[in-house]
Chain A
Amino acid sequence: MKNGLFEKTLFRLAGDRGLLAEYGDGIDPVVNLKVRAMTIVIKNDMPDGVIEIIPSYRSLLAVYDPGVTTLSTLKATLTTMEQRLSEVEIPPPRRVEIPVCYGGAYGPDIEYVAKSNHLTVEEVIKIHSAGDYLIYMVGFTPGFPFLGGLAQELITPRLETPRTLVPEGSVGIANAQTGVYPVASPGGWQLIGQTPLKLFAPEREAPLLYQAGDRIQFKSISGDEYTRISEKEGTWTHS
């Protein structure tokens, strides 16, 4: 299968209220950039009857109200918007810095990750925090970012037995993926650190600190800094 952009967008029927627009194949930053651009363009000028636009790796889902618009109208509108894409200025992706306290109680699996890749813990921290990660998609749980860009040297298999509870803010590695858990949930990722930032706070005006298409950088912080930020963030408690 060839990666890259499709010459012609592939529309797929997702029931009587959903239209899936596929812009390319594979997990490819170029394809994801187009998904992001289309998401911005559509949301800036929401067509009548469109309720929600949900971007993902290489496609977006337009949820519509068939009482207001038709499938053919919606397809035509999205196609026109795509043709005008080159005329529209798309703001560059946001860069979101996430402070992480690596190792110790914050990242109980960091030694395993280091050992299995023949690295020291310090090298794991250095490599992981030097990465520039693209958020391909957000989902699975509220705010969970699917990131691309993990360095080859850090690839580590999942835990054999998943944890029943991964604490909120945990940063982990699973195979070639890295990510962060904005809400506590079960999970099988190797945990290497934790952020004190409240990434997802339902009561906050912007409930999530990033979105699909943005870039994430992790910054190594000390335990003291973790405590300081954590106290400041404490006001955003989950209901």
Chain B
Amino acid sequence: MDTFLILTPGPYTTIQDKGRFGYQHIGVPLSGALDQFALRIANLLTGNPEDSAVLEITVLGPQLAVLQEADIALTGAEMQLKINDKPAASWQTIRVEPGDRISIQQIKTGCRGYLSVSGGFDTPVIMGSRSTYTGGKLGGQHGRPLKKGDILGKGAGPLLKKPRQLAKSQIPRYTEEITLRALPGPQDDFFDEGLDFLFKSEYTVTGKADRMGYRLQGAPIKTKENQPASIISEPTMPGGIQIPADQQPIILLVEQTVGGYTKIATVISSDLALVAQATPGVKVRFEQVSLETAHRLYNEDINRMQTIAEQLSGP
């Protein structure tokens, strides 16, 4: 079913879901929504399974003409949502009718917004996922960002009997200064004072920040004497803090499978959504945590999602 016509696409709007698992060994990266919390909430607000496909909107939103009745929800970055030029709230269910016009304005805080639709965006499943990977021209809308004139459909899914709203206290706030908790490794043994530098210094997100990685600028991080910056290429994880030859850190994200530089530390899973919502200019500090802490936070996140899911779907 045709559900939306794209009137203006925004600078970089792609279809993303939870990600593409099981193909990194053949060089196909994870992809998926950078902010997995916002993805899940957007889906819960429209009655979808948490991993359904949504629109990931970067910095400036699209305008869509509605062709079919549906429930939608906008989460993630703070960006004004309007239906027929009237302001509408984010983090809650909104019913739209044929003839309505959805517009999503420039970000106020955060970097990436997520728009869900009841039934989920229904592009073909490629290698187990609908996520767009533009580098491989696969997934989503023909492997590319949305463009004007695209028509998007939704999957089958009932409309909600009553709208859902995330409690104000649960809505994340995106700030100009963030602290990312990180675990040393995999190559922390290649550094001595470099590790202290990482956890003591302040870095700034540069303009080179995308789904592949975020380049930061700040105190240079040196490897031990006589220790080259490059290593024999190996698989990388989202959150890996890579130190290339210029000694400025790069936080690796979801569109890379292997890399040939040392990674001094790795941002914990619970804090990856903070990276997703950081724009150029945001100040970044790193805080060292233990694996036990990271796993405790990981499990707390699962429990928190469970609680929210129960609250939203109601008794």
Report A's interface with B, CB cutoff 8 A.
12-18, 20, 25-27, 39, 51-61, 63, 66-67, 70-71, 137-144, 146, 183, 185, 200, 202-203, 207-208, 211-212, 238-239
Contacts and interface: CB of A to CB of B under 8 A. Distances in A.
Contact of B240 (A14, A55, A60, A146): A14
Given A139-B27, A140-B258, A146-B233, A16 B268 contact: yes
B27 A144 contact: yes
B234 A61 contact: yes
A56 to B, nearest CB: 5
Interface string B40-60: 000000000000000000000
Contact of B183 (A16, A63, A140, A203): A16
Contacts of B21: 51-52
B174 interface: no
B25 A211 contact: yes
Interface in B170-185: 183-185
A238 B234 contact: no
Nearest to B258: A139
A67 B298 contact: yes
Main secondary structure of the interface of A (DSSP, over half): loop
A52 B22 contact: yes
A183 B137 contact: yes
A15 B26 contact: no
Contact of B26 (A20, A63, A207): A207
Given A16-B269, A54-B235, A63-B237, A139 B257 contact: yes
B122 to A, nearest CB: 15
Contacts of A13: 183-186, 266, 291
B259 to A, nearest CB: 9
A92 B224 CA distance: 40
Nearest to A63: B237
Given A14-B186, A142-B26, A238-B143, A137 B233 contact: yes
Interface string B70-96: 000000000000000000000000000
A57 B232 contact: yes
Nearest to A184: B137
B294 A16 contact: yes
Interface string B291-309: 1001100110010000000
Contacts of B229: none
B213 interface: no
B233 A56 contact: yes
B158 interface: no
A113 B240 CA distance: 38
Given A15-B266, A16-B294, A139-B233, A212 B25 contact: yes
Nearest to A26: B232
B25 A12 contact: no
Contacts of A211: 25-26
Most B-side CB within 10 Å, residue of A57, A61, A139, A143: A139
Nearest to B124: A239
Contacts of A67: 298-299, 302
B26 A141 contact: no
B237 A12 contact: no
Given A137-B258, A238-B143, A15 B28 contact: no
Which 3 A-B pairs give the minimum distances between C-beta atoms?
Answer: A15-B266, A139-B258, A12-B186
25 contacts: A13-B266, A14-B237, A14-B240, A15-B269, A16-B183, A16-B269, A16-B294, A17-B298, A52-B24, A56-B233, A58-B232, A59-B234, A71-B291, A138-B27, A139-B235, A140-B27, A141-B27, A144-B27, A183-B137, A202-B28, A202-B127, A208-B26, A238-B137, A238-B138, A239-B124
Contacts of A57: 232-234
B266 A14 contact: yes
Interface string B111-143: 000000000000010110000000111110011
Given A56-B258, A202-B136, A66 B298 contact: yes
B25 A53 contact: yes
A143 B186 contact: no
Contacts of A144: 27
A29 to B, nearest CB: 14
Interface in B186-242: 186-187, 232-240
B19 to A, nearest CB: 10
A183 B134 CA distance: 12
B233 A54 contact: no
A114 to B, nearest CB: 29
B267 interface: yes
Given A15-B238, A57-B232, A139-B27, 17 more contacts: A13-B186, A15-B268, A16-B295, A26-B232, A27-B232, A52-B25, A57-B233, A61-B234, A61-B237, A138-B27, A139-B257, A140-B258, A183-B136, A200-B26, A208-B26, A238-B137, A239-B142
